[in-house]
Amino acid sequence: MSAGTLQLILQRLDKVDQRSSREQTRLRTDLLEQMERVLAQMQSLKDDVTVAVTFASRADAATEATGIMQRTVQSQISGLRARIERLEGKFGGTS
């Protein structure tokens, strides 16, 4: 093999190495951009889940408050019925 042929082979290898290096850089850049998009989507999903959980917690609290109010009203109604029955018994019947 002559020195010229060897020089030509080395030049071609240099070009391949440079092309490979550019492609690796482009690949890294593409991968980082894709990872950033995925992370942004995950953050958006996390935000959506946080909002949904907050609304669900508020709904649970409202349901609990409604149950407490219902039990309170039922207790008041029972108390009123008992008073009415005592008054009916005291005054002799219904009107």
pLDDT confidence tier of residue 13, bands split at 50, 70 and 90: confident
DSSP letter for 2, please.
Answer: -
* Selected residue with higher pLDDT from 1 and 32: 32
Six token digits for residue 67: 């149950």
pLDDT confidence tier of residue 94, bands split at 50, 70 and 90: low
* Selected residue with higher pLDDT from 29 and 21: 29
Of 47, 25, 27, nearest to 35 (Cα)?
A: 27
Six token digits for residue 59: 């709904």
User: CA-based angle 50:56:61, to the nearest 5?
Assistant: 125
Going through the chain in order, the beta strands assigned E by DSSP cover: none
Pick from 15-19, 46-50, 71-75: least confident: 15-19
